[in-house]
Chain A
Amino acid sequence: MTVEALSAALSAEHAAVYGYGVVGAHLDAAGKAAAADAENVHRNRRDALILRLTQEKANPPAAAAAYALPFAVTDRASALKLAVALESGAAAAWRQAVGGTTGDDRKMALDALIDCAMRATQWRVTAGITPTTVPFPGASA
Chain B
Amino acid sequence: MTWQDVEVHNDAPGSRTGAWTDPVTGGSTSRRTFLRGVVGLVGATAASAALTGCGIFGGGGGGPETPDQPQPLLDFLSATSALADRYDATISEIPALIGALTPIRDAHRAHVKALAEALGTTAPKSAPPATQPPSDGPSAMTALVAAEKAARDDAITACLAAAPRYASLLGSIAAARATHLEVMT
Contact = CB atoms under 8 A, between A and B. Distances in A.
Q: Which 9 A-B pairs have the closest CB atoms?
A: A64-B33, A99-B168, A117-B175, A61-B14, A98-B171, A7-B13, A137-B175, A135-B107, A121-B179
Given A8-B13, A106-B160, A133-B183, A98 B168 contact: yes
Q: Is the interface of B mostly helix, strand, loop or mixed?
A: helix
Contacts of B107: 133-135
B178 A118 contact: yes
Interface in B40-57: 41-43, 45-46, 48-49, 52-53, 56
B167 A106 contact: yes
Contacts of A1: 49, 52, 56
Contact of B171 (A4, A66, A95, A133): A95
B35 A70 contact: yes
Interface in A57-96: 59, 61, 64-70, 85-86, 89, 91-96
B172 interface: yes
A67 to B, nearest CB: 5
Contacts of B39: 70, 89, 92
Contact of B31 (A7, A59, A64, A120): A64
A100 B182 contact: no
A21 to B, nearest CB: 13
Contact of B182 (A67, A122, A131): A122
Contacts of B178: 114, 117-118
Contacts of A5: 45, 49
B110 A61 contact: no
A110 interface: yes
B117 interface: no
Contact of A95 (B13, B31, B172): B172
B106 interface: yes
A50 interface: no
B103 interface: yes
A66 B33 contact: yes
Interface residues of A, number: 55
A98 B162 CA distance: 10
Given A64-B33, A92-B39, 15 more contacts: A1-B56, A4-B12, A7-B13, A8-B13, A67-B33, A67-B38, A68-B32, A68-B35, A68-B36, A70-B39, A99-B171, A109-B171, A121-B182, A136-B110, A137-B179
B82 interface: no
Contacts of B171: 94-95, 98-99, 109-110, 113-114, 138
Contact of B52 (A100, A137, A138): A100
Given A11-B13, A96-B42, A110-B171, A65 B176 contact: no
Interface in B104-129: 104, 106-107, 110-111, 114
